[in-house]
Amino acid sequence: MISTHLETFRYFNFHVHKPSESNEGSVFFIQSYDINSQMQMVDGNSFFSIGMHPWFLKSEMIHENLAKIRAFSNHPNFLAIGEVGFDPLKSPSFELQETCFKLQADLAEEIKKPLIIHCVKSYSILLELKKKINPKMPWIVHGFRNSSKLANQLMSKGIFLSFGVSLFWEKHLQDLICTMPLNAFLIETDDSKETIDKLTSFVCKLRNITLEEFLLNQRTIYAQFFVY
Ligand SMILES: [Zn+2]
């Protein structure tokens, strides 16, 4: 639960690894930490998510890590669990990735936090697990770059999408967000050097809407996800 007044923010950045220096006070951002490699970096001063990133899983650390994530439950700036997910191109075994995903999805339900999902080439398993787990908490795929067919499939199953800086050059993503309701997607800079104000302006131009209209919708989503 956050008591912060969402209307004091001009920009919303769903997922970042290093907060951008520009627009600092006016940007609502969620800084993402991997618990295996960045636990020491969590200062708790800004809103954050923490999770076992699929790239850095260690089977012997699973239960200790879950306990560490759970220990943040009551931290006022802890907003979501993540990144969690799948990447078969990386070395942690897929079996381990799936185990860690399920455990973190269950924990998200238990401590009532949305899930930030990193998903590479594994959307069928993600959809399968969505059906099986039937979560009450929002599941949000970050950095979505796939087809609009897949986007629609995910959305029809209640999975939300966040788009990154590839919007600047990927025509199919530009077309996709023009078909989506304004209160149904998020934007993020992830590990890019681009700034969220630039991405926001770009999206407003694409949609031919004012910044105010876009912000109104973003605030609605953030209030829905993070202010219960
Ligand atoms: Zn990321």
- Confirm whether 11 is domain-assigned: no
Do residues 88 and 120 make contact, with C-beta atoms less than 8 angstroms apart? Answer: yes
Tell me the CA–centroid distance for residue 77 and ligand 1, in Å.
18
Same domain, 45 and 121: yes
Predicted pLDDT of residue 226? 86
pLDDT at residue 2 is higher than 90: no
Distance 223 CA to ligand 1 centre (A): 22
The one-character DSSP state at 85 is E
- Residues ≥6 apart with Cβ < 8 Å to 105: 84, 115, 129, 133, 135, 139
CB atoms within 10 A of CB 156: 9
What band does 40 get if pLDDT is binned at 50, 70 and 90?
confident
Give the domain range for residue 72. Answer: 19-138
Mean pLDDT score of the chain: 93
4 pLDDT band, cuts 50/70/90, is low
Evaluate if residue 169 carries a pLDDT over 80: yes
- What's phi and psi for 36, nearest 5 deg? -75, -35
Average pLDDT for 14-42: 85
Beta bridge partners of 159: 139
Contact (Cβ atoms closer than 8 angstroms) between residue 66 and residue 104: yes
Residue 138 has pLDDT above 90, yes or no: yes
**What integer pLDDT is reported at residue 19 of this predicted model?**
74
Q: How far is the CA of 117 from the centre of ligand 1 (A)?
A: 9
Q: Which two tokens stand for residue 197?
A: 């104000």
Last residue of a domain, one of 108, 138, 168: 138
Instruction: Say if residue 135's pLDDT is above 70.
Output: yes
Q: Domain count of the chain? A: 2
* In a shared domain, residues 148 and 134: no
Same domain, residue pair 176 and 128: no
